């Protein structure tokens, strides 16, 4: 490896590990095209900086409590383990700014992707720890009803938004990898 390549690699490692996000093109010697190593549009807070605690199947749990589903690319964060109305759940998700933010309430299909009969104590990965059976979705009808997913049997229902019996909240986001080919 020549000296220029070594300096280039050391510079990239330094900038990425000190949270300086840059746009670099590493040109192939036989091509005028390059590979984007890092994208300047990515905020430093969106670069994963937390360590992996455990991996099981398609799921990874990080030290900050975020659970990544590698099949869907979605990242999940479990809300307070207490009964809450839809409006309380929505407010909690909107205030969540963990690891760069970008969180929202999940769709029913996203919640459904977590359902696996017999997996963990709530028919989902045990990395998502909750004592409730129902999880609010972001899908609403008017100002009085919202959709909710029941992990007991995989049921999708309409629930009065003021109900808080056994209803929980999960936040979800889809995170890009930050690296792409040009």
Q: Where are the domains of the chain?
A: 3-43, 48-174
In this structure, which topology does domain 48-174 adopt according to CATH? Mannose-Binding Protein A; Chain A (3.10.100)
User: Which residues of the chain have a pLDDT value below 50?
Assistant: 4, 7-47, 177-182
Chain-centroid distance, C-alpha 72 = 10
Residue with tokens 């629930």: 159
Q: pTM for the whole thing?
A: 0.69
Instruction: Provide the pLDDT for residue 43.
Output: 41
Instruction: Provide the pLDDT for residue 22.
Output: 32
Report yes or no: 79 and 93 within 8 Å, Cβ to Cβ.
Answer: yes
For the chain, give the longest Cα–Cα distance: 66
Cα angle at 131 between 128 and 132, to 5 degrees?
Answer: 95
Q: What is the DSSP string of 63-80?
A: TTS-EEETTT-EEEEE--
Instruction: Provide the pLDDT for residue 175.
Output: 77
Contacts of 169 (CB under 8 A, 6+ apart): 79, 80, 84, 88, 89, 92, 93, 105, 135, 136
């Amino acid at each position: 490896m020549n000296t220029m390549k070594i300096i280039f690699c050391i510079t990239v490692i330094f900038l990425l590990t000190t949270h300086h996000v840059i746009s670099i093109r590493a040109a192939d010697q036989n091509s005028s095209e390059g590979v984007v190593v890092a994208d300047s549009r990515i905020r430093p807070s969106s670069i994963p900086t937390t360590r992996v605690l455990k991996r099981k199947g398609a799921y990874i749990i990080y030290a900050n409590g975020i659970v990544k589903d590698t099949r869907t690319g979605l990242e999940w964060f479990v809300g307070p383990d207490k009964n809450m109305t839809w409006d309380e759940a929505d407010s909690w998700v909107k205030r969540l700014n963990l690891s760069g933010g970008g969180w929202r309430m999940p769709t029913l299909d996203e919640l459904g992707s977590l359902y696996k009969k017999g997996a963990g104590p709530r028919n989902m990965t045990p990395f998502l720890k909750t004592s409730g059976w129902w999880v609010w979705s972001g899908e609403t009808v008017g100002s009085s009803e919202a959709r909710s997913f029941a992990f007991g049997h995989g049921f999708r229902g309409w629930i009065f938004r003021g109900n808080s019996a056994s209803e929980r909240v999960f936040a979800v986001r889809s995170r890009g990898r930050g690296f792409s080919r040009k």
